[in-house]
Structure 1
Amino acid sequence: MPKVALVHLIAAARPNFMKVAPLWHALKATSDFRPVIVHTGQHYDAAMSDDIFADLGLPAPDHHLGIGSGSHAEQTGKVMIAYEKLAMEERPDWLIVVGDVNSTAAASMAAGKLRIPIVHLEAGLRSRDRDMPEELNRLVTDVLADVLWTPSADADANLIAEGIPPERITRVGNIMMDSYELVRPAIEAADYPGELGYAPGGYGVVTLHRPSNVDVPEQLDRLVAALIAAQAHLPLIFPVHPRTKQRLGDAGMARLETAGVKLVGPAAYVRFMSLVAGAAAVITDSGGIQEETTYLGIPCLTLRENTERPITISEGTAQLVNADKLLERLIAALAQPKQDRKRPGYWDGKTAGRCVEDLRRRTTERP
């Protein structure tokens, strides 16, 4: 009988889980691959990890490395040590890493030194901002990866410009759209906005978590003031990330609540996407949400100076804004008639299938 290829899927943080799910289901449906989920434990809040597995129909992780919180160096080092041990005990035929978190770069470094073939899903994204830890993780991972699965043409171009051989690059599309379609019925049935007392199209959603926004007190204060001003024009629902809640403190949370901003805890994927799908606009510093709003045709005001997903601006619904311009841009976005926007190619909910086809081809061609 033909050998069944063992595939390790690294999951570490909320966006990873969403990207891993469609690929796990697609690999599980085959007879020539055995997918194994390795949860590094980088994010351990139940609403941001374990509940997402249930929402996306994933089993409990096959391995849990239990890394937990810590500095970038601590997390990276702990993942390298723990994953190296696992990979030596249960050597996979392929390691698939996703996104740009510390666990992605760390597992890639451990696997690279063991000469385990590495696949990077969502390769080639670049912000050109090395102050972002995620940018360093992307650069490291793409250099080490044997196969680079890209979401869009700009990612292909970035890799080619950096000297990556074209034969290592395959454009597969955006797997986040697969995640959405995987649970669309549950998202549509959830009605989390209704539970909170909001009608579809009658509110905006806010997410903030990037260090450049929440770790600098002056910047966070400006953003709080901007959100309070925006609240006067559009009721806001703010699922507060644990780190952001800590940085805001009691005083910052009280200012937002007094102004009428609805503060809620982190929501599992289905409930969170129920919020996003019904929103009139989204205010965020997240990369993934720029993609989801583009897919759904919802205005996205991105509180960053740059983005590693420029296609969501050139072809999608996102725009970069700062705190000073947030209210002005929000009012303008709400005044524009809703219209269908062009979706980037391969953002169609079928990315996981293309990944499996490419992995099968490359498995067959490997010496």
Structure 2
Amino acid sequence: MIKVVTILGARPQFIKAGSVSREFGAHENIQEVIIHTGQHYDANMSDIFFDEMKIPKPDYFLGIGGNSHGAMTGQMIEKIEAVLLTEQPDWVLVYGDTNSTLAGAIAASKLHIKVAHIEAGLRSFNMNMPEEVNRILTDRISSILFCPTQTAINNLQSEGVDKWQTQVSLSGDVMQDGAIFYKELAEKPIDLEINGEFVLSTIHRAENTDSTTRLTAIVESLNVIAESTPIVLPLHPRTKAKLEALPIKLSPAVKVIAPVGYLNMVWLIDNCKLVMTDSGGLQKEAFFFAKPCITLRDETEWVELIDHNFNILVGADKKAIIAAYNEHVFSSDFNVDLYGNGLASSNIINALIKYEK
């Protein structure tokens, strides 16, 4: 029996982990224990969330969140360590780049428990991002690194991974596994009234919302684009407050709706004409559903989408945003395999089993 403790801290991580957990469930010789650190409190993560998303409920809830990065990470290490001493797992499985990710990896490594990092090797090369620090440190102390793309492997090789005591595996991306699974469960947002084609946009990244200049340029761009195509904008309360403080207002053709659950978001991606976002994950999900993407950032971890012309970086430059929408010719051949074609979870489980033999 292989015992795995999975560390999660935010709703997107649960959605990613759902694919792997469903694959774990198909193996009688693997036991999974799930810890929710509570890093991001989400009122939508009720029992209904887990039932609808077909995700196992956490075995432990640590209730840590809302503090500074240092305080939060330190408390997580302490509480995760206590669970690991009780559970005595063979592996600790962590996802992505949150404080929960790093805390789980540190707690496990101090107890000489093997760490598996899913979404390893991603780099924005922006060390001002806390997520970048978390990624790099987690990769360095993991026993096996599950990379979603060849680009991620190349990043690790440039950092000298061949000299580390770790294995590197090109697993593919578990988000594509989830996209395939959840497409059949997608639901239209109940408060959305729209007919015909539309653009889906999201804005949440601090580099945009905390800069009046950048946010103003994005709003002006959305207003221009909305003159020809309606824009649906699910809006987080924090971003909404920032927008309300601006002198310029969103056009009525930009249809602002409340934040949506994942199944609603899948429907929006699947039915939109194009995606405009500063989200990391949504860039990939646009590709999964064969939609072009305009990314409102200065850099991206998903450079293969840029290289294959499914995505274009425009920052927060009004002229560049409008030109990308009106003039850029995106690739229409979405058959290229960039992320594993939905087999990432299976690849991960098979690699863990092989490692134990």
Question: TM-score when scaled to structure 1?
Answer: 0.89
| Matched-pair contact (CA < 8 Å) for 2:8–2:14 | yes
Q: 1:211 aligns with which of 201, 206, 209?
A: 206
Task: Give % identity.
Answer: 35
| Matched-pair contact (CA < 8 Å) for 2:92–2:115 | yes
Q: Which amino acid counterpart does residue 158 of structure 1 have in structure 2?
A: N
Aligned alpha-carbon RMSD (Å): 2.2
| Matched-pair contact (CA < 8 Å) for 1:76–1:106 | yes
Query: Structure 2: 5+ residue runs without aligned partners?
Result: none
Q: 2:283 aligns with which of 270, 290, 309?
A: 290
| Matched-pair contact (CA < 8 Å) for 1:233–1:331 | no
User: For the residues of structure 2 that align with 1:337 and 1:161, how far apart are their CA atoms?
Assistant: 30
Taking the TM superposition and a 5 Å limit, the aligned residue runs for 1:149-188 are 149-165=146-162, 168-187=167-186
Question: TM-score when scaled to structure 2?
Answer: 0.92
CA deviation after TM superposition for structure 1 residue 52, in Å: 4.6
Structure 2 residue 314 is the aligned partner of structure 1 residue 321: yes
| Matched-pair contact (CA < 8 Å) for 1:13–1:49 | no
| Matched-pair contact (CA < 8 Å) for 2:304–2:338 | no
CA deviation after TM superposition for structure 1 residue 316, in Å: 5.4
Taking the TM superposition and a 5 Å limit, the aligned residue runs for 1:60-79 are 60-79=57-76
Structure 2 residue 246 is the aligned partner of structure 1 residue 247: no
Which one has the bigger helix percentage? 1
Deviations, residues 75-110 of structure 1 (Å, cap 9, x unaligned)? 222222221222122222111101111211121112
| Matched-pair contact (CA < 8 Å) for 1:283–1:301 | yes
Deviations, residues 292-347 of structure 1 (Å, cap 9, x unaligned)? 111222111111111111011113511111232111111224xx487323433453
Structure 2 residue 195 is the aligned partner of structure 1 residue 199: yes
| Matched-pair contact (CA < 8 Å) for 1:48–1:267 | no
Structure 2 residue 241 is the aligned partner of structure 1 residue 261: no
Structure 2 residue 28 is the aligned partner of structure 1 residue 35: no
Q: 2:273 aligns with which of 255, 280, 293?
A: 280
| Matched-pair contact (CA < 8 Å) for 1:13–1:48 | no
SS in 2 for 1:123: coil
Query: Structure 1: 5+ residue runs without aligned partners?
Result: none
Structure 2 residue 268 is the aligned partner of structure 1 residue 271: no
Taking the TM superposition and a 5 Å limit, the aligned residue runs for 1:1-367 are 4-47=1-44, 52-165=49-162, 168-187=167-186, 190-192=187-189, 196-199=192-195, 202-248=197-243, 250-252=244-246, 255-256=249-250, 258-315=251-308, 317-323=310-316, 324=318, 325-333=320-328, 336=329, 339-364=332-357
| Matched-pair contact (CA < 8 Å) for 1:7–1:35 | yes
SS in 2 for 1:170: strand
User: For the residues of structure 1 that align with 2:75 and 2:305, how far apart are their CA atoms?
Assistant: 34
CA deviation after TM superposition for structure 1 residue 59, in Å: 2.7
Deviations, residues 240-286 of structure 1 (Å, cap 9, x unaligned)? 124323433x4459922x53322122211111110111111111111
| Matched-pair contact (CA < 8 Å) for 1:125–1:138 | yes
User: For the residues of structure 1 that align with 2:170 and 2:238, how far apart are their CA atoms?
Assistant: 34
CA deviation after TM superposition for structure 1 residue 126, in Å: 0.8
User: For the residues of structure 2 that align with 1:283 and 1:296, how far apart are their CA atoms?
Assistant: 14
User: For the residues of structure 2 that align with 1:50 and 1:332, how far apart are their CA atoms?
Assistant: 46
User: For the residues of structure 2 that align with 1:343 and 1:296, how far apart are their CA atoms?
Assistant: 13
Count residues with an aligned counterpart. Answer: 353
